[in-house]
Each structure stands twice: as structure tokens, then as C-alpha cells.
Amino acid sequence: MASTNLLDTKTLTLNEILGNGKIYFVPQFQRDYSWEQDNLDDLWNDLLNIYSTSNEAHYMGSIVLQVKGEQSDKQFWIIDGQQRFSTLSLLTLAIINKLKSLADSGLDTEANRERADLVMKQYIGQKDPSSLLYSSKLFLNENNDGFYQQRLLTFRSPVNFSKLIDSDKLLWNAYQYFVKQVNELFKTENNGEKIASFLTKLIGEQLKFIQITVVDELNAYTVFETLNSRGVELTSTDLLKNYLFSLVAKSSNDLQAVKIQWKKIIDAIGLKDFPVFLRYYLNARSSLVTKDQLFKSIKKVVKTDQQVLDLLDHLENYAYTYNALFNPEDELWLNDKQLKEDVSSLILFKVSLCHPLLMVAYEKFEFAEFKKLVHGIMVISFRYNVIGKLQTNEMEKAYNKTANKVFNETITTATLAMDDLKDLYIPDDVFRNYFELKSFNTSNSQQKKIARYVLYKIESQLENGVKTDFMVDDGTIEHVLPENMDEHWSSVFTDEEHINYVYMLGNLTLLEPKLNNIKAGQKPFEEKKEIYQSSKYALSKDITGEEWSIRMIKHRQASLGKTAAGIWKR
């Protein structure tokens, strides 16, 4: 490719990609090998399908290459595609192993040894006459290349598999997987020519790639952002890591420091959750960023080594707050009982769009103001998310707008922040309307937890603020109209009425296990209400009347709604 071209696109076979002395390098900061058995199964099944359908072409997706140094037509960085390159090399080694086995067993020995050597030279590399190591066509990243060159390419088993890093274990497992599959496919086949042809004709010629070649890193990453590749994709996290590391690579000290800090952040957050955390970090400080815009957004503002160091410092600081929002026992909350309870509630509600605001508020607010804001957002979340079940699009925009004001310090107190979020606060009359229609299917574990939470909160209010932890107390949820109707209850409620009202909050109460499991059950309401009077729970003692009907369930639910409006209030 001429050096003046910014981008070159071709459709090539594997044979064409590996031919003419081309050498490929995985950037040292690229992710480690990560294919697991599901990925291997998919590839192998595709190959078997080609094998059984007259060798039809099979497209393996796109690969993105960047020219390396002066050798623009011979040496390339693999920006996207290293998982497939690595895996196909392991499959090739398994086929070579099969040919060697045939030779070692005395089957057409000379021809099969020659076939193995030719395949090795064409697809893997040539042996250096002095070191007897292979001059590889593929060099993996800094973590995997040593194992790949010294063990896999020389067909030597690891000395101690258990001591390998996880990605080297995956490399070895993938090689062993293909050894097993190749042996199984050719278990009755002793024809080395046919086995070699499986690689050179079927895999080499029928697997096709869209090869995109660029001349510089910026173009490589720009191209990549528009592509989706087969298998375990290079994520925005990988892109960001590669980009940040490249900005500081000129200084070995800075690079080492950045690598350590990056690992600390990833270990704290988790690789899978990092894109969400990064998005929330950005949304706390700027306009809304979507998942697809993460890498581009960072690239716009981080262009120097110092900016890399600053970014990682900020991410590390925010990581502690982010993690603490998922853990009410985190030391960040300083054993504050009310704050722990509010954080626990947000976790129970499974709300997180408020996290950008809470992360930046923890940084900017005094602790007392931060605590007030957490409580206020808990109330908003209960009204808006749990009871109202309203759409979250507008909620995310509102939290982003307020978070930006907190970051810019135009909002400095919880009261001002809550005023800014007033559109998310469902007013009492609307809240009570939603509440009167609310049911929780207690056969669903998540809904059952929330139902217990609501009932215990109301119980505390009825008991003049005496709090009982719904996660610790052994009280059970009692359905006045039972979940399974007997003949008596079927004479009172139709099947349709039972479906519509059995999980309404007005039909639920709290009861001690011994009263619920043994005494209450499916008993008629006349007998149940006597049992309720012996309960320690005010919610049950308050259940009276001559009969249990739809009217009674609605009336009780409306009453609970009025109590709830006073509990979950700004």
C-alpha cells in the first residue's frame, strides 16, 4: 500500500493475508487472548459447515491493520482481529500436530514431515537456524507472546499449567481444543494430503476477510469505532486503554505508572462495568454521552501525557464513590445509619441513572449536604421508578443537567439540587393515584423484596417510627386473599378477580412465620382476622371488618397510599 493512502480496503483469503512474507504484531497494550469454548465452538461449527457444503466461502468479518514503520507492505499492527488471528494460528498448530503424529507413527513418514514443515513455514513462520526458534508471522501482546513463541510454536506443554496467567491458559486450552477436534474429524483418516488440504484449501482459501489497512493510529481507531467484529470484541475500554497508553509511551516511567493506575481502576470497577462507570463519570461533568461515544469523547479532551495522568487521577477518585453506591457497608458512609439505609434503598430499587449526580455531589458538597441529597434522590426514585414506573429518558437528562451544575458549582446545596430536580418529584395526589393501583407479584424474588420493604416502612410509621430491618426481621408476607384459593375463597372471588387483586398492596400484610404457615393459610377471613389480632405487626392488627372484598382491598390500599406519601416525602 502506498504511504500516501490513508485507507485501503480489500477482500482477502487467509492464504493471501499470510502470504508474501507479511508479519503481524499485536500492540503491546492490546487486550490479552480471551476466546473461550463458546467462541471456539462457533468457529469450528462454521468450518464443519463449510467442509460439508462443497467448500462454500465463509466471511470472517473485518480486520483493521495499521502499517508498521517503513515496511508498509510487509509489517502491520493488528488494531482489530487479533483474537481471530491468534485462534486460527492455534488451529493451524493443531493440524501440524496431526501431520507430525502421522509421521511419527510411520504413516508416509517423509511426505507427512515435509507437509508439516511446509505448513509451518507458510502459516506460522520459519525456524531460525541459530536459536531453532520460529521467526513468527504473528507476535502477540506483551503478556501472551512469550508463551506463544516458546511453548505453542515449539509444541511444548507448559511446565505448570496452574501457574499460567489466565490468558495463557486460554491459549493452551484453545490449542488443546483444536487438537481434539482435528483428531476427531480425521480419526479414521490417515491421508496426510487430505488433512493438509483441510487447512490450505478449505481454511486458507474459503475463509475470507475484509482487510482495512490504514497508515496511522488515529485513522485506525476511527475506522474501528464503526465496526463490529466476530467473537470477543475489542471494546471501548480496550480502545481507551490503547489510546491513553500510546500518549505516555515515550516515557517508560510514565507508562509504567499509568499501567499500574489503570489496573487499579479496572480491578476496582471490573472490566465489564468500566464502560458504565466511564459514562457516568463523563455525564457528571459534561453533556450526556452515549455508550457509543465514550472513546470519541475522551479523545476530544485528552491529548497530552499530562491530561492522561489527570484523567486517571479523577477516575480513581470517582471509582471509590461509584463502588460505594453499590455497597451500603462501604467505609465511605462513615457508619451513618440513615445514609446506609438510603443507599440500600437505591440498590434495592435498581436505579443508577442518579449515580453521575451523586458521584460529583460527593466530590463537591459538604458531607451533610451530600447525605440530604442521597435521601432526596431515594424519595424521587421510590415515587418515580418504583411506584410510578415512569420512563427514564427524561430522568437521565434531568440528572445530567443537575450534575453539571453541581460540577460547575452553580448548585452548592442539596436543597438547590432538589429544586432543580422538581420535575422528577411526583406530587402527592399523583403519587397516591399510582400507589392505589400498585401490586407486587411476590412469587418474583425482586418484587417480593420491594413489597417487604414497603410494608416494613409503613409498619414503622404505624408503630410511631420504631424501625425494623426488613432484611433481618423474620416476618413473612401474608396474602389476606390467599395465593391459592380453596372452595371457600372461590365462592367469594372469581378467578379473574383473584388474578387482579391477590398481589395488590392492599391485600398484603406482615405476619410471624408461625402464624402464617400454620394458622392463617387458606382459612376464611373470619378466622384470619382473629389470628391477625394476635400478631405483633400493626399492619395486621388494623385489618378488621365483616368480610374481605374488592372494596376492602381498594380501601386499605388507598389508606396505605396516604401513609406512604408521608413517608417518602422531600
Mean pLDDT of 108-126: 91
Mean pLDDT of 51-74: 77
**Residue (of 248, 257, 267) closest to 307 by Cα position:** 248
- Percent of the residues in the chain that have a pLDDT greater than 90, as a whole number: 63
Return the pLDDT at 31.
81
Question: Which of 130-144, 184-198, 410-424 is the most confident on average?
Answer: 410-424
Contacts of 329 (CB under 8 A, 6+ apart): 340
Cα–Cα distances in Å, from 174 out to 41, 55, 476?
10, 24, 50
Return the pLDDT at 4.
42
**Residue (of 239, 193, 272) closest to 80 by Cα position:** 239
pLDDT at 7 over 70: no
Mean pLDDT of 385-395: 93
pLDDT band per the 50, 70, 90 thresholds, residue 425: very high
**Residue (of 411, 400, 360, 355) closest to 378 by Cα position:** 355
pLDDT at 203 over 60: yes
Name the strands in the sheet holding 71-80, side by side, starting at the edge strand that comes first in the sequence.
Answer: 7-13, 207-214, 58-68, 71-80, 23-25, 138-139
Return the pLDDT at 350.
95
Mean pLDDT of 337-356: 96
Pairing between β-strand 58-68 and β-strand 207-214 as defined by DSSP bridges: parallel
pLDDT at 528 over 60: yes
pLDDT band per the 50, 70, 90 thresholds, residue 214: confident
Return the pLDDT at 228.
41
Return the pLDDT at 219.
59
Give tens-digit pLDDT for 395-405: 999 999 999 99
Mean pLDDT of 192-202: 91
Rounded Cα–Cα distance for residues 122 and 137 (Å) = 9
Return the pLDDT at 229.
38
pLDDT at 212 over 90: no
286, 404 Cβ separation under 8 angstroms: yes
Return the pLDDT at 171.
97
Task: Parse the chain into domains and list their residue ranges.
Answer: 7-224, 236-324, 331-426, 433-567
Return the pLDDT at 256.
87
Return the pLDDT at 446.
94
Question: Which of 106-110, 163-167, 417-421, 457-461 is the most confident on average?
Answer: 417-421
- What is the three-class DSSP state of 61? strand
Return the pLDDT at 71.
54
Q: Which residues pair with 208 in a beta bridge?
A: 13, 59
The per-residue pLDDT of the chain, averaged, comes to 88
Give tens-digit pLDDT for 537-546: 999 999 988 8
Looking at 326-340, 413-427, 457-471, which range is the least confident one?
A: 457-471
pLDDT at 524 over 70: yes
pLDDT band per the 50, 70, 90 thresholds, residue 72: low
